[in-house]
Amino acid sequence: MMDFDREVISLQEGKESALCFFMDQYSHALHFYAYKIIKNQDIAREMVSDAFVKLWEKKENFQASESIKSFLYLVVRNLCLDHLKSSRVRFQHNEELLSDLESNDENILNKIIYTELIELIVIEIEKLPKQQGQIFQLSVLEGKNTEEICAELGTTSSNVYFSRSKAIATLKKVFKHKNISYYQFGLLLSFISTP
């Protein structure tokens, strides 16, 4: 926590290294959060960049790292909301998603926790053997079916089933050591696959 406190002070003083520190800490999770909402990698990246620009513009206003984190998530959420509202005219986006984004602060906190848990999973996926990680990513995080995965990776359905089950078994063991129960992991996976 000392590093975070030190970096907050450095940010207030206008040191770019502090901005880089917070970008390293939060950009991956913020990108995932934005992408989950708008389903566009480039726009999600742009929104995260815009959030850090706004952080830099208001750097003197922050006294703690938690307020920086909350600010960044709120900015990204608002940017996503604005994007969906402007797109709604052209594409008639899902009203349920818009109302979900406009909901209260407690819901935002739940989304932050969810995003951080997803980030933990992504970190662990990167440690899996390449094919297991790819298949888990495509099937669980991106919601693709077995046929789509077979076509994309040029593999068989039995290989997809085997690799996915091996990946899940490995992740269960990892999260058991991190005191995340199978039930919590399963619950998390069920939330991931819902749109």
- pLDDT tens for residues 136-162? 888 877 778 899 999 999 999 999 999
Q: Are 165 and 151 in contact (CB under 8 A)?
A: no
Q: How confident is the model at residue 112 (pLDDT cuts 50, 70, 90)?
A: low
What's the predicted TM-score (pTM) here? 0.55
How far is residue 80 from each of residues 72, 94, 102, 108, measured CA to CA in Å?
Answer: 12, 13, 10, 13
CB 135 within 8 A of CB 149: yes
Residues 10-54: tens digit of each pLDDT: 999 999 999 999 998 888 888 888 888 888 888 989 999 999 999
Q: What is the largest CA-CA distance in the chain?
A: 57
Torsion 134-189-110-125 (CA) sign:
negative
